[in-house]
Amino acid sequence: MKTYSTEAREVTSERKGSYVGAAAILLAGVLFSAAAAAVDSFTSTYKNGSTTENITGREPTAAGTYPVFIYAVGTTESFTNASAIAAITGMANRGYVSATVQYPNSSFGSCTTIGGRAKAIFDPASATSAVTALCARAKADCSKGIVVGGFSQGSVIATLAKNTEPRVRAAYGIGAHNSYSFFNLTSCMNNGNHTLPNTALRIVNGEVDTFGGGNQNAVRTKAQGVTGLTCTSTSTSCLQSNGSGWIIVLRRLQRQPEQSGPGVGKRGRSLGAQREPRLVDPIHVAVRSDSQRARRGELNARRTSRFDDD
């Protein structure tokens, strides 16, 4: 069976009283804008098996204790890329002890593989997990709730977080699907197959997301599978009253690539609206500014591969 080990060959809330409501992470503006507030930086570590992984965080400067936010990046991305830092800074501004966590993301994987990575981050019974390290911080009070977010593989990890960590209140996924290339994740990502209820999950996917099937109908079908929510056959959003559900970002609304640097114009024309995701414009795309190797591998894979919908 093929593996995801070689990226160049394969496609690669606000606080409510003292507790976090599900709407905290489900409100679109929470991740995508940041109120001005003083925050402090911190670092920590946790264990994934025998490997030490890093944690980078932000927390309010003001005295007090706060709920926790954890963000997971996508495959091959640096865990301290611009989007991750923007997410944790924005959430710290809103009164969260926030962190982006490193994990073994050089490859993708099955439900078992990614589920194991999620457990290493979110297992409260483990003295060496990321959530244990974060909840032990002086300003963290995980009894007030944990909310999670992620991009691509990170969105799968976010969706599975509550499987092991009951204090997770809600998740926000960008590029969250029930299959990616030849990896069928329906057994863990379909609604009802993960502990997180659909009332506590919001996903945002691009209309032409390759991993979503490359067209609106395919992306919609996968979003329906993950959330269990079906609106009309042409809906581009299907939200419940508390903001949970799914949104498809239309291609015409997506930002164009930055026009700077040698060859960017040519690359931009070939990729169209695809670019590294920004939290102000959450689109699941394959271009990573963090890694030229990943960029080259994904561009090659896009020229040679086509993926069918479920």
More confident residue, 209 or 6: 209
In a domain, 80, yes or no: yes
Q: What is the structure's pLDDT at 220?
A: 96
* Comparison of pLDDT for 292 and 134, the residue scoring more: 134
Domain assignment present for residue 165? The answer is yes
pLDDT classification of 183: cutoffs 50, 70, 90: very high
- Which residues touch 265 (CB under 8 Å, ≥6 apart)? 259
Tally of residues, the chain: 310
* pLDDT, position 12: 32
Cα 156 to the center of its chain, rounded Å: 7
Q: What is the pLDDT of residues 99-158, one digit of tens each?
A: 999 999 999 999 999 999 999 999 999 999 999 999 999 999 999 999 999 999 999 999
In a domain, 216, yes or no: yes
What pLDDT is attached to residue 50?
94
**1 lies in some domain:** no
Q: Is residue 271 part of a domain?
A: yes
Q: Whole domain around residue 279: which residue ranges?
A: 15-304
Distances (CA, A) of 96 to 34, 118, 277: 12, 20, 23
Domain-located, residue 6 = no
- Total structural domains within the chain: 1
* Per-residue pLDDT at 255: 55
User: What is the average per-residue pLDDT within 76-96?
Assistant: 95
Q: Tell me, yes or no, whether 2 lies in a domain.
A: no
How far is it, in rounded angstroms, from Cα 126 to Cα 155? 22
> Rounded CA gap, 122 and 129, in Å?
6
Report the alpha-carbon distance of residue 240 to residue 303 in Å, rounded.
38
In a domain, 4, yes or no: no
List the CATH number of the domain containing 250. Answer: 3.40.50.1820
Flag whether pLDDT at 229 surpasses 70. Answer: yes
Residue pLDDT, tens place only, 150-180: 999 999 999 999 999 999 999 999 999 999 9
Q: Characterize the bridge pairing of strands 168-174 and 146-151.
A: parallel
